[in-house]
Amino acid sequence: MADRYKTGEKAPANGKYEFDGLTDGRKKSEPTEHESQITLESGDTFPPLRSSQEAAYWKKVK
């Protein structure tokens, strides 16, 4: 299982995922508290950040 998942990829498992940077390498996008964590079901597509529509990396919350 990968540690990071990118916008457009499918979630491997149900759970909560948190923002882990933008795919262009910037980590200083300021996601809102509401969008910094998302809940997905297995097979759901990882979204971009809602506020900026930029592609993001996500990691599973332990």
- Provide the whole-model pTM: 0.85
Closest CA to 41 of 20, 19, 10: 10
The helix/strand/coil state of 10 is strand
Q: CA dist 46 to 11, 12, 54, Å?
A: 7, 10, 12
Q: Is the pLDDT of residue 24 over 90?
A: no
pLDDT of residue 29: 67
Q: How confident is the model at residue 25 (pLDDT cuts 50, 70, 90)?
A: confident
User: Mean of the pLDDT values across residues 18-41?
Assistant: 84
Rg of the Cα atoms in the chain: 10
Q: How confident is the model at residue 15 (pLDDT cuts 50, 70, 90)?
A: very high
User: Mean of the pLDDT values across residues 18-30?
Assistant: 80
CA–CA gap between residue 6 and residue 4 (Å, rounded): 7
CA–CA gap between residue 62 and residue 50 (Å, rounded): 23
